[in-house]
Chain A
Amino acid sequence: DAKTTQPNSMESNEEEPVHLPCNHSTISGTDYIHWYRQLPSQGPEYVIHGLTSNVNNRMASLAIAEDRKSSTLILHRATLRDAAVYYCILATNTGNQFYFGTGTSLTVIP
Chain B
Amino acid sequence: GAVVSQHPSWVICKSGTSVKIECRSLDFQATTMFWYRQFPKQSLMLMATSNEGSKATYEQGVEKDKFLINHASLTLSTLTVTSAHPEDSSFYICSARDPRQGYNEQFFGPGTRLTVL
Contacts and interface: CB of A to CB of B under 8 A. Distances in A.
Interface of B: 1, 4, 6, 32, 34, 36, 43-46, 49, 91, 93, 95, 97, 103-111, 113
A80 B95 CA distance: 26
Given A46-B105, A49-B103, A92-B104, A99 B46 contact: yes
Interface string A11-50: 0000000000000000000001010101001111110010
Given A32-B103, A93-B103, A43 B111 contact: yes
A71 to B, nearest CB: 16
User: Do most interface residues of chain B lie in helix, strand or loop, or is the interface mixed?
Assistant: strand
A98 B97 CA distance: 11
User: Do most interface residues of chain A lie in helix, strand or loop, or is the interface mixed?
Assistant: loop
Nearest to B91: A41
Interface of A: 2, 32, 34, 36, 38, 41-46, 49, 87, 91-103
Nearest to B42: A102
A34 B104 CA distance: 9
Given A43-B110, A43-B111, A99-B46, A93 B1 contact: no
A101 B111 contact: no
B95 A43 contact: yes
A32 B97 CA distance: 15
B49 A43 contact: no
A88 B113 CA distance: 24
A87 B113 CA distance: 21
Contact of B44 (A32, A34, A92, A100): A100
B43 A96 contact: no
Given A32-B103, A32-B104, A93-B104, A98 B110 contact: no
